[in-house]
Amino acid sequence: MKGIVFTEFLEMVEMKFGYEMVDKIIEESELPSNGIYTSIGTYHHSEIVQLLGNLSTNSKTDAQVLLKAFGEYLFDTFLKAYPQFFSAVDNPFDFLISIDSHIHVEVLKLYPDATLPKFDTQRLEDGSLEMIYQSERKMAALAEGLIEKSIAHYNSTHIITKELINEDGSIVKFTIKQT
């Protein structure tokens, strides 16, 4: 997993819970990196799972709620770092459809060792959009936060439903319907 995910996660934790919480969750985790991350480094995703778990325990907040909030936070980071991805389209559906076919292609040019989730998208007859998230990292709540924030970015309102395709969360179907 790319280091930017770790650095941004720790920045979000500091912003929402304070530096003491950042220090506490790092100290409570058994991290091969010792909690030292660079945005361009690559780290095993198990480290973020440990950090998230310890944040959940210490903040008494469900891990999935925290992961979704992180997705929303991470959207703003991506918007600042890669504005061209967002300005290329003028609506959330076109943006979401472009994730796998365009954005992830460009990300892999910058970071060839990145392991990215897969999104299969399809417009349905009723005008809604179906997105199938696939990742062995099982972080669909992060994707959900990114999806919700992208919809808000384009000043659109939608209802998002989520359905587990695999019980372990490695494949999740999002259906997004404009309201």
- CA dihedral for 75, 80, 86, 91, sign (positive or negative): positive
What's the average model confidence in pLDDT over 140-147?
97
Asked if 94 contacts 129 with a C-beta cutoff of 8 angstroms, the reply is no
Give the count of alpha carbons within 13 A of 80, CB side only.
Answer: 5
* pLDDT tens track for 36-48: 999 889 999 999 9
Output the six-digit token pair for 17.
Answer: 């819970």
pLDDT class for 145, splitting at 50, 70, 90? very high
* pLDDT tens track for 89-130: 999 999 999 999 888 988 888 888 888 999 999 999 999 999
- Residue 16: name the closest of 48, 75, 49, 58 by CA: 58
> Would the pLDDT of 146 be above 90?
yes
Determine the pLDDT at residue 112.
87
Instruction: Report the C-alpha dihedral over residues 105, 4, 147, 76, rounded to 10 degrees.
Output: -110
Asked if 129 contacts 176 with a C-beta cutoff of 8 angstroms, the reply is yes
Determine the pLDDT at residue 113.
84
Determine the pLDDT at residue 110.
82
Asked if 69 contacts 145 with a C-beta cutoff of 8 angstroms, the reply is yes
Q: How many other C-beta atoms can be found within 10 angstroms of the C-beta atom of residue 76?
A: 13
* pLDDT tens track for 151-177: 999 999 999 999 999 999 999 999 999
Q: Say how far apart CA 98 and CA 85 lie, in whole Å.
A: 9
Determine the pLDDT at residue 102.
87
* pLDDT tens track for 46-89: 999 999 999 999 999 999 999 999 999 999 999 998 899 999 89
Output the six-digit token pair for 12.
Answer: 């979000």
Asked if 96 contacts 149 with a C-beta cutoff of 8 angstroms, the reply is no
